[in-house]
Amino acid sequence: MAVAGILFGIISLMLSLTFFTFIGPVLGLIAGGIGIILSVIARKKQPDSLATVALITNILGAILNLIIALTCMACISGAKFVGDKVMKEMQKSDMDPGKIQDKFKKQFDEGYKKKFDDAFNEAKKNIEKKSGPEKEKKDSDGW
């Protein structure tokens, strides 16, 4: 039982390293809970250091996973709150998201067209500068 408890404790700690997903900490919390139960049973049957290590490992894993899971839930709810607040402000100020997108697209297209035209004219000038002396040379040679 103590070996199974340590195994669940290690699994719980490893799953706490997957904090970038919400599923890892939840599974780690479950594994830590199972490991705590197995470790307590093992300590009652035979109170040795292996069962104590298993219990400590599982408690650490469960606490760490609980903290990470609560942090993930707080971030998700905070992002939803901010998103809802932004949408309400946009609706209050009569700003349609479609209009904002169209305005941004128009500004982007105008800026892109201007930059493209500037780059095209610059390239055209450079080509004319390079071909200018060659053209005069050809004319003087008769070609």
What's CA 107's distance to the chain center, in Å? 29
Q: DSSP states of 31-99 as a string? A: HHHHHHHHHHHHHHH---HHHHHHHHHHHHHHHHHHHHHHHHHHHHHHHHHHHHHHHHHHHHTT--HHH
Within 10 Å of residue 6's Cβ, how many Cβ atoms?
Answer: 22
C-alpha 1/C-alpha 15 separation (Å) is 21
pLDDT in tens, 47-88: 888 999 999 999 999 999 999 888 888 888 888 787 777 777
pLDDT, residue 133, reads 55
pLDDT, residue 77, reads 82
pTM of the model: 0.56
Average pLDDT, the chain: 82
Domain assignments of the chain as residue spans, ordered by start: 1-79, 96-143
